[in-house]
A and B are shown apart, each in its own frame.
Chain A
Amino acid sequence: MSTDYYPIQQPEDLPAREREDAMGGYFMMFASLAAGLPLPIINLIAAIIYYHVNKHKSRFVRFHSLQSLLSQLPVSLLNAGLVVWAISFFKYDFNFDNTFLSYLIVVILSNLLYLGFSIAAAIKARQGLMYYFLFFGKLSYEIVYKVKEEEEQIYRNNPPI
């Protein structure tokens, strides 16, 4: 198993265009929010499309779009959970209790945290900097920067030294 990683690009090596593409991933949700699409699933689809459009660009762009996509997954799940819970609550007269209220608070906090960290990451990306979220940062780094075995085989011819 290889533990090699591709080098991380430094800000001076990153053209403005790439920095903007990297920032774009985090701003997808603002765009969909502004378009009046508060359904979590639509933000998610937008993020997936954005990642696929950008995945052939530089690793820097890929890293940031993947991080925004992955970190959105649990938030979307929590939001969907809230919608389902609220609906069943209306429909079956579930008790509006502290368990639900607490979940609601945690979901709101998660969304705020996600929003705050996304803005921070977008600003860093614009400056050509890496920004690692807890867990999702490492995971995206692993996926994007790790040298994969099959990719290594492409470089079988090496210089004489």
Chain B
Amino acid sequence: MKKRLWRDFLILLVLFLGAWIFFIYYPVVDSEVVKESFNDKEKEIKEKLVELMDFKQADSDTTQLLRSLGELKHLVSDKDVQYELYYSDSREINAYALPGNMIVLNRGIILECDTPEELIGVIAHELGHLKMKHHTDQLITTLSIELLLAGSGSTTGEVTKILTQNAFSRDMESEADDFAIKKMKELNISPNYLAKLFKKMYIKSDMVPEFLNSHPGMNKRISKFSQYPFEESTLEFTFDWLKVKNSL
């Protein structure tokens, strides 16, 4: 009986491994094809989102604003992340990173920036979220909790919540801030520029409670950026920031 048990066990194992190896060499669909259709789907969703939210892509030559945002985007780059920068006509003082490597800047936060350097800091912070794949972490955490807690019915609701509220954890914000500091230093911009922006936002925080909710520990974050002495940046831009802001 023992021998027959072992024999059966081996049969099962061979069947499993055999099937696995078989499908590696004779796949029903090739992984490249699947990957391609995933990418197409992602592109489609992105296009729908851009259309739905009426995002304008930086880099396009249509307006002075989009041209200058494109210029900032070229400054804040990372070899691992190919991202797209968008402008949204919302007065909320916020910027956010979306899955699919999109960064969106609201009109509200652009108007809040007295200098382009502050906006570069904001973009760098959001790029940090993308680079560290915080969306994936967030999605995995939420999905696991969903799976543990209840049905598949409410999953879509939670996912939309992540996308729109952008509620990253304190650790993630801190990581994104560190990334922003690193990027700003590379560009010879004092991280203190971001401290200035955060202070302005903090004062207005009663107006934008969501932002504080999603970005906890504002005081701590301000002091982190304030550690760096303020030095006027020597970066040259082809546009006049005040004119750009006035065009909004």
Chain A residues engaging chain B, CB cutoff 8 angstroms = 3, 36-39, 74, 87, 90-91, 96-103, 105-106, 109-110, 134-135, 138-139, 142
Interface assignment of B5: CB less than 8 Å from any CB of chain A = yes
Report the separation of the CA atoms of residues A87 and B21 in the bound assembly, to the nearest whole angstrom: 22
**Chain B neighbourhood of A91, CB < 8 A:** 133, 136-137, 140
User: Are A101 and B34 interface neighbours, CB within 8 A?
Assistant: yes
Residue among A38, A91, A97, A135 facing the most chain B CB atoms (10 A cut-off): A135
Instruction: Return 22 A-B CB contacts under 8 Å, by A number.
Output: A36-B150, A38-B147, A90-B139, A91-B136, A96-B31, A96-B35, A96-B38, A97-B31, A98-B24, A98-B25, A99-B24, A101-B23, A102-B22, A102-B23, A105-B19, A134-B12, A135-B5, A135-B11, A135-B12, A138-B4, A138-B5, A138-B8
**Chain B neighbourhood of A98, CB < 8 A:** 23-25, 27, 30-31
- Taking A100-B31, A134-B11 as known contacts, 20 extra A-B pairs with beta carbons closer than 8 A to each other, sorted by chain A number, are A39-B147, A39-B148, A90-B136, A91-B140, A96-B35, A97-B31, A98-B23, A98-B24, A98-B27, A98-B30, A99-B24, A101-B34, A102-B22, A102-B24, A105-B19, A106-B16, A106-B20, A135-B11, A135-B12, A138-B1
CB contact between A36 and one of B11, B139, B140, B151 (< 8 Å): that residue: B151
Report the separation of the CA atoms of residues A4 and B131 in the bound assembly, to the nearest whole angstrom: 65
Report the separation of the CA atoms of residues A38 and B144 in the bound assembly, to the nearest whole angstrom: 11
Q: Lowest 4 CB-CB distances: which A-B pairs, in order?
A: A36-B151, A102-B23, A135-B8, A102-B24
Report the separation of the CA atoms of residues A105 and B9 in the bound assembly, to the nearest whole angstrom: 21
**Chain B neighbourhood of A99, CB < 8 A:** 24
How far does the Cβ of B238 sit from chain A's closest Cβ, in whole Å? 35
How far does the Cβ of B224 sit from chain A's closest Cβ, in whole Å? 26
Report the separation of the CA atoms of residues A160 and B218 in the bound assembly, to the nearest whole angstrom: 89
User: Are A142 and B133 interface neighbours, CB within 8 A?
Assistant: no
Residue of A nearest to B24 (CB): A102
**Chain A neighbourhood of B8, CB < 8 A:** 134-135, 138
Residue of B nearest to A90 (CB): B136
Count of chain B residues near A, Cβ 8 A:
34
User: Are B152 and A38 interface neighbours, CB within 8 A?
Assistant: yes
Interface assignment of B52: CB less than 8 Å from any CB of chain A = no
Residue of B nearest to A113 (CB): B15
**Chain A neighbourhood of B34, CB < 8 A:** 96, 101
**Chain B neighbourhood of A109, CB < 8 A:** 19
**Chain A neighbourhood of B5, CB < 8 A:** 135, 138-139, 142
User: Are B29 and A101 interface neighbours, CB within 8 A?
Assistant: yes
User: Are B31 and A101 interface neighbours, CB within 8 A?
Assistant: yes
Report the separation of the CA atoms of residues A106 and B21 in the bound assembly, to the nearest whole angstrom: 10
Report the separation of the CA atoms of residues A139 and B12 in the bound assembly, to the nearest whole angstrom: 13
Report the separation of the CA atoms of residues A135 and B13 in the bound assembly, to the nearest whole angstrom: 11
User: Are B16 and A110 interface neighbours, CB within 8 A?
Assistant: yes
User: Are A103 and B20 interface neighbours, CB within 8 A?
Assistant: yes
**Chain A neighbourhood of B53, CB < 8 A:** none
Report the separation of the CA atoms of residues A22 and B162 in the bound assembly, to the nearest whole angstrom: 45
Residue of A nearest to B6 (CB): A135
Residue among A91, A102, A139 facing the most chain B CB atoms (10 A cut-off): A102
Produce 1/0 per residue, B141-158, CB < 8 A to A: 000000110111100000
Report the separation of the CA atoms of residues A38 and B151 in the bound assembly, to the nearest whole angstrom: 9
Report the separation of the CA atoms of residues A115 and B153 in the bound assembly, to the nearest whole angstrom: 23
Interface assignment of B28: CB less than 8 Å from any CB of chain A = yes
Report the separation of the CA atoms of residues A138 and B1 in the bound assembly, to the nearest whole angstrom: 8
Residue of A nearest to B137 (CB): A91
